[in-house]
Structure 1
Amino acid sequence: MDFTEKTIKSEKIFDGKIIKVKVDMVELPNGSTSTREIVEHPGAICVIPITETKEVIMVRQFRKPIEAVCLEVPAGKLDEGEDPYQCCIRELEEETGYKAKNVQSLGSIYTTPGFSNEILHIYLATELYEGKLQPDEDEFVETETIPLEKLVDMVMNGEIKDAKSIVAILKASQLLK
């Protein structure tokens, strides 16, 4: 069966600094029509920086949509036309104050394909060395170093709820076994 939905009409309803929102009228595979509300996002990266002793440099920051402080791996939005690898290098230093001699891709995921086209590129950073901490003006983060195996336990018992961090932690844990 062909599951493709054909766009009949598309209307942009919001054009923000980070996201755009549109409503598409689509023709379904059975010939019926429906609407799809779509959030367009430029994409992002996350990086799991691991020390020689298998500790991960995590960040804590307040996340307004959930009204809570979140423990997560460092991450950031891609600038227009920016290469994900270069974004990873930039965000790692900005948020943690570290650079890495070795950065490896762990793949990409769609964060919420039910309503957004955001793609998130995941990286593993090792052989860390000091750089310069330089968070964005509107970014207030605190770093915390936690053993990778403890983070896996925190994922499994529900203490870490951030999806990108869960994926990055579990992928890195499997890779480094």
Structure 2
Amino acid sequence: MNLEWDVIASKLAWRGRFPVVIDRLRAREDGREMDYTYLKLSGGAVTVLGLDDENRAICVRQYRHPTGQVMLELPAGHVDRNETPAACAHREFEEETGLRIGDLESLGSFVPVPALSGFRMHMFIGRNLSQGEASLDESEILEVVRVPLCELREQILDDQYDHAGMISTVLIASQRGLLPE
């Protein structure tokens, strides 16, 4: 069985912060056609688990309009054009927290919502933090929160958080033995 589809036409339906594209698809298996709407995001994004000297995760609380909630999450952001995910991780972490990362390690990447967009979330762990300078985007109002790792892991496993980037990053780092017990 051939599960792939071919794009036979594509159009930009809306241009804004997140461009919306409609592709006309044809199934290789049986020739049926359908329209598929998705977000065309380029560059991907990063999420950074920054750890201070007391083994606390540097998190941010901010309002997320699509959920209608203030969410606790790891510092994160979109990779700019001509920027590597690692450079983005350094930049976003300092912009959102006012702290610089001394040692940065990649934990890999994943596609958070493949039915909606093909963008990749790159996960990092940062250590040896030093004072930097916060520089928030116009759309950001953040509260920086330090959460003990043991509490954060327990709360994630107790289903207290919704942010996929934070959940994935903390659990992968923990599973790989990169976090203290």
| TM-score > 0.5, shorter chain as reference | yes
Quote the residue 2:57 is aligned against: 56
Matches within 5 A, 1:117-132: 117-132=118-133
Total equivalences in the alignment = 176
Alignment TM-score, normalising by the size of structure 2: 0.92
**Tell me, which stretches of 5 or more residues in structure 1 are unaligned?**
none
Note the C-alpha offset of 1:78: 1.5
Quote the residue 1:7 is aligned against: 7
* Runs of 4 or more above 4 Å deviation: none
Note the C-alpha offset of 1:52: 2.7
Structure 1 contact 98–129 (Cα < 8 Å) conserved: yes
Quote the residue 1:20 is aligned against: 19
Alignment TM-score, normalising by the size of structure 1: 0.94
**Structure 2 counterpart of 1:123, one-letter code:** F
Structure 1 contact 149–173 (Cα < 8 Å) conserved: no
Matches within 5 A, 1:1-177: 1-16=1-16, 18-28=17-27, 29-42=29-42, 43-175=44-176, 176=178
Note the C-alpha offset of 1:64: 0.8
Counterpart Cα distance in 2 of 1:115 and 1:129: 37
Deviation larger for 131-140 or 108-117? 131-140
Note the C-alpha offset of 1:30: 2.4
**Structure 2 counterpart of 1:158, one-letter code:** D
Note the C-alpha offset of 1:137: 2.4
Counterpart Cα distance in 1 of 2:99 and 2:66: 28
Counterpart Cα distance in 1 of 2:2 and 2:50: 41
Counterpart Cα distance in 2 of 1:55 and 1:96: 14
**Structure 2 counterpart of 1:5, one-letter code:** W
Note the C-alpha offset of 1:80: 2.0
3-state SS, counterpart of residue 83 of structure 2: coil
Counterpart Cα distance in 1 of 2:66 and 2:84: 27
Note the C-alpha offset of 1:138: 2.3
For 1:86-123, what per-residue CA distance to the aligned partner results, in whole angstroms no more than 9, with x for missing partners? 11110110111111111011101101101212211111
Counterpart Cα distance in 2 of 1:125 and 1:171: 14
| Percent identity over paired residues | 32
**Tell me, which stretches of 5 or more residues in structure 2 are unaligned?**
none
3-state SS, counterpart of residue 65 of structure 1: coil
**Structure 2 counterpart of 1:118, one-letter code:** F
Counterpart Cα distance in 2 of 1:127 and 1:3: 47
RMSD: 1.3
